[in-house]
Structure formats: C-alpha cells, structure tokens
Homo-oligomer: A and B are copies of this chain.
Amino acid sequence: MAHPTGQKEETRARIVENARKLFNRRGFSEVSIDEIMLAAGLTRGGFYNHFKTKDELYVEALQDFAAMRESEHRRALDEGISLAVRVLESYVSDDHRTDVENQCPLIALPSDVARAGPQVRDAYERVFRALAHVFESGVSDAEDMSAREQSLAIASACVGAMVISRTIDNAEFAEEICLAAKKYLGRINGWSASKPLQ
C-alpha cells in the first residue's frame, strides 16, 4: 500500500454521492461518467479503478440511499419515535419536490429504473419497502384491509403525488397536487401535524 489508508474508499464514496445527485437531477443515461468524475474532482480515466461499469455505479448509488434511509428509520425506531406522520409531512412536501439533488430516487428515477437491470430494480424496491414500512407502523389492521396493504397504498400514493408534481412544469399546480395528496392521506388516517400518533 503506497497510499493513505481509506483514501480510496473516501474517493469512491465521493464519486457515488456526486453520481446520485447528478442522476437525481438528470437521469442515468443523460449523465456521463466524465461529468460525474469532474463533479468529484477527478478525471475520466480513474473511474475504472473504482467500478467495473457505469451500471455498477448506478446500483451503488441506489443502495447507498436505501441504506441511509433504513438507518435513519432504525434510529428513530430505537428512540421510540413514530415516523408515519413526520415522513408523510416531509416526503409529500414542496421542500422535497424542489430539492432535486437529495430527492428520494423513487421520485426522481422511476422510468430509468423500470428499464434497468435486476440489481438496480432490487435496490429501488428496497427503498420503497423502507418507505412502506414506516407507514405500516402508523396504521392499524382493519376488517377489510391489513395494515400492510394500507401501507403499500399510502406509500405508493406519496410517491405518485411527488412524481406527478415534479413532472408538472407549472409550479403552482405542482404545489397544489402536493398539498392535496398530503391532506387527503393525513385526513384518511387521522394524521395531522398537530396531532401526531403516539
């Protein structure tokens, strides 16, 4: 080893982070390796010291996000915090809509992922499961619908509202959709910011 310990890992992480942000903003195939490396303060050629292919980086970027979210949720759970309300509030929000770089990839990349390989799709599914899991703990089993079923519907509704509002050009209408969805879901579940569960 003729290099400082951990430097390679740090560089790799920097590439992944910059890639995630660029992918979020402009999509997988529209972002070149050149751009990613430049954003990370490096040059084209070095990419292949870290990744075998561009696809491998894509998987990595999604897994990274999934792991981050999972550990956030685990931490909150350990502290006994009920997340359902606060996740709904922050996920389906104008801040989240406009913060493109750090947006949830469920929102930023659905079409890209739908056409990608199984590893990429698995990583995406993992992010979705984490989101649904949060809601599952915020609802109760009902006679005609299990908490799990409800959580899948709620999570996909959150994603849908954000996907649509990110795609709509008209900011006012985008915001309206965002707010309507938040209100609708909160109302159904008896959730509100002022009256959090537990």
Contacts and interface: CB of A to CB of B under 8 A. Distances in A.
A30 interface: yes
Contact of A180 (B110, B153, B158, B166): B153
Nearest to A177: B152
A71 interface: no
Interface stretch (A2-10, A50-58, A119-127): A119-127
B145 A183 contact: yes
A156 B169 contact: no
Nearest to A118: B169
Contacts of A181: 152-153, 156-157
A77 interface: no
A164 interface: yes
Interface in A13-46: 26-27, 29-30
22 contacts: A26-B115, A27-B111, A27-B112, A27-B115, A108-B111, A109-B111, A110-B110, A110-B163, A110-B167, A111-B111, A113-B167, A114-B166, A118-B169, A144-B187, A149-B180, A156-B157, A156-B160, A156-B161, A156-B180, A157-B157, A160-B161, A160-B164
Given A152-B176, A153-B181, 13 more contacts: A29-B29, A110-B163, A111-B111, A124-B168, A128-B168, A145-B180, A145-B187, A148-B180, A150-B184, A152-B181, A153-B185, A156-B177, A157-B184
